[in-house]
Amino acid sequence: MLPLIFALLFTLSQADPGICKSALISVYTKTHKDATKMLYYSGRDFDDLGKYDDCNDLDSAKYLLIRGKVQGNIGMIGLCGPKECSTSDYDDLKGWLDVALNLTSRGIELDTLKFYFSYDYNHEPLDGGAIFMVILWCLLIIVVISGTYLEYLKIQDPEKKFEGKLGLLMTFSAIHNSSKLFVLPIEKDNLQIFNGIRVFGMLYIIIGHSYVYQLSAAITNPNQAIDWITDFGHKFISMAQYLVDIFFLMAGFLLAYLTIGEMNRKNGRINWVVFISHRFIRMIPVYWFAFLNYLLLERYIGGGPQWPSFKQLTITGCDDYWWSNLLFLNNLLPSDAYCCMGWTWYVANDVQFYCFTPIILIIYYKRKYFAYILLCLLILLNFVIIAGLSDRHDYNPTILYGLNDKHQFLNIYVKPYTRMCTYILGLIIGFIYRSNVDYRPVSLISPVTDIENSEQSAFESQLYPDKEREVSDNSNLDWVTNLEVMSVRWIHNWYIRYSAYALGAGLMFMINFLPYQLDDHGLDYWTQNGKTTFLVFEHFTFAVGFSLILIPMLFGKGRVLNYILSFKYLVPLARISFSVYIIHPIFIYLVALSRYQAFYLQDWELLYNAIATIFLSFIVGFILSMTLESPILSLERKLLRKK
């Protein structure tokens, strides 16, 4: 391809002589003093980045990155061109390139071609936003060091007291906050299985993202990516997309179970302002800090020939709609483009579900059957919306034909009204479990102790009932509560229980592997009605399958798996899982787009990168939780105590 490009440039140069044109002529005719080196330092085809440093070392040359879509995948090529040419000169030649080289017929989308001088992009001076983040980092470090020093003084002299501003400053002590993160639960609790689910689920998600986000960088064997997406073996990796449904289900379960317990204890009196604000106080410090680093600072951290590709990740979503992330609306806006930090659509959904849930909780507390009717209607609405959109736009299952479709991803994958069904299922299970805890013998339900944090915030600590609870008199239970209590009796029959395990695992694997038929035989193998039906029920069915395995473990069954998931040393990792989720793709992009040569897709290479990402993400996640999340929650607790 490279000789043809220079040949075309030479032809055009003769028709319209100029400084750039003359330079191109001299390169093609090899009369330029560095012509041989410039040709050698250029890439030979797409995803060949050439020799970036060697090209820029030439006084007469400048490295150019050409980026665009090739057969649906991102493609890049490095061109060592004359220094006299600008990106606009190259951009003017796109049409002629298409005519001469038949780029469109080769699967190259001409309108996606962009031209960058990588060296200029990599050496831009810090702008105001980057300087702001540097100052913010310095202030945070100073505050943490100061708080740690005050804690050290207090340890040396226990009688020393720090009050007022110094007392608040000491809440940022690295000594105190790190020790809180490593406190382990004393007693065994069935709900501690969620710690293991969080940790292992996060590991699975990081491995999945390590495969997917790598495709944003230059790939030596891009066709291998398509083979991986469509082959049967890699369907185990693609199952990571359904882990989000498990996290939604867990969020709904814990919120319903804990809050209804608190409402029962306080006769329905809950400060809903504190309830909502606590969620924001807990999420904002880490989320906003990571987001601002991604938005304002990361572009100055990476570098290399393909680093300008990072700019493509921030166009529209970050440049024009950055505020939607700060308001947790980035799953709704922009409506026609990927949001900034695309993986945080989950965070927006989680917050929106949380803010809407009090309405359901209040209705459930007053009229349980009304709440169940409402929840069923919401699930039905979820199904109807997906069915309507899928049928209208001919949406498809699978990653290659579905999630890879920008329109489908933005319309049904990230929207709250198409993802709420699994969260609602979690609410229902939480309600049922709450009733069983309150109205069944103590011997059948373990007392609720610490699930995630041994030192809870002011509001969270109130959500946990006393360990020595009194069993309510169930002789006068309403019919809905009786149904809730009776609905889980099946778990005590070992035959039914193990059948539920098998059915649950079968449903999860069926949802994950069934679309392989489309990958293997083509989209026409299913009718559009069949595709729509699958899209309507896939996430809910996967969550139901998981629930059939989860529910018995909540009552102490499944001892081996229960023991593994409840392993107490997973607790510190579970506490920082939110921070890990927020930051891990940042490291994947940073490494992938800073490579000087295209990456060769290979399972062991990607697994190695995933392991490195896991370790780095948990280390940095621990630092963020220790310096931001934990001290802010301590400040919240102190302020609420004063009130």
Q: Select the more confidently predicted residue: 540 or 472.
A: 540
Q: What is this structure's pTM?
A: 0.90
pLDDT of the residue at 466: 38
pLDDT of the residue at 458: 35
Convert the pLDDT of each residue in 482-536 to its tens digit.
Answer: 999 999 999 999 999 999 999 999 999 999 999 999 988 889 999 999 999 999 9
pLDDT of the residue at 8: 53
Convert the pLDDT of each residue in 166-219 to its tens digit.
Answer: 888 999 999 999 999 999 988 888 999 999 999 999 999 999 999 999 988 999
Convert the pLDDT of each residue in 294-312 to its tens digit.
Answer: 999 999 999 999 999 998 8
Task: Say if residues 386 and 536 touch (Cβ distance below 8 Å).
Answer: yes
pLDDT of the residue at 98: 62
Exposed / middle / buried, residue 567 (Cβ in 10 Å: 0-12, 13-18, 19+): middle
Closest CA to 8 of 93, 106, 75: 93
pLDDT of the residue at 95: 66
d(CA 555, CA 342): 37
Angle between helices 479-486 and 368-393 (to 10 degrees): 70
| pLDDT greater than 70 at residue 592 | yes
Exposed / middle / buried, residue 85 (Cβ in 10 Å: 0-12, 13-18, 19+): buried
Among 82-96, 102-116, 299-313, 618-632, which is the least confidently predicted range?
A: 102-116
Question: Which residues, in sequence order, are bridge partners of residue 69?
Answer: 74, 109
Task: Say if residues 76 and 24 touch (Cβ distance below 8 Å).
Answer: no
372-380 mean pLDDT: 98
pLDDT of the residue at 287: 98
Closest CA to 345 of 324, 329, 331, 361: 331
Q: Binning pLDDT at 50, 70 and 90, where does residue 96 land?
A: low
| pLDDT greater than 70 at residue 16 | no
d(CA 39, CA 4): 12
Residue with tokens 């004359």: 82
Question: Which residues, in sequence order, are bridge partners of residue 74?
Answer: 69
Angle at alpha carbon of residue 407, lines to 404 and 408, rounded to 5°:
65
Give percent of the chain with pLDDT exceeding 90: 68
Question: Which residues, in sequence order, are bridge partners of residue 81?
Answer: 62
Task: Say if residues 251 and 425 touch (Cβ distance below 8 Å).
Answer: no
Q: Where are the alpha helices (DSSP H) in 555-576?
A: 559-565, 571-575
Q: Name every residue whose Cβ is closer than 8 Å to that of residue 418 and which is 6 or more positions away in sequence.
A: 382, 385, 386, 389, 411, 412
